[in-house]
Amino acid sequence: MAWECGITNCGAVFEDVESAVVHQATEHERRECKVCGTVVPDGYLAIRHAFTDHSRAEYVRAYGADSEDVRKREKLLEEIESNADMDLIAAELKR
């Protein structure tokens, strides 16, 4: 299965999900979380931060998201979490 970077105007495609996440975290600018102001890597890790450190309600309020946005992101997180080796990603990002 190919993984596409979902960040606007990127469209880079990777063979494994770990490479896609590392790409998002290293090739894209970091973003400030709109809820707490922490600077987090863009893409999957930004979504993971928003959805694990904050409630859905906080996310919706800060990002002006609707329930469809939330559903889509929850699905993406699930998909990545069941496919990705998070230890490998963490190790890659420490280099």
Residues that bind Zn ion (CB under 5 A): 5, 7, 10, 12, 33, 35-36, 38
Give whichever of 12 and 88 is closer to Zn ion, judged by the CB atom: 12
Report the nearest approach of Zn ion to the CB of residue 3 (Å).
11
Residue 37 CB, shortest distance to Zn ion, in Å, is 7
- Separation of alpha carbons 95 and 67, rounded Å: 37
CA dihedral 16, 22, 23, 27 (to 10 degrees): 180
The least distance separating Zn ion from the CB of residue 90, rounded to whole angstroms, comes to 19
Phi, psi (deg, nearest 5) at residue 71: -60, -45
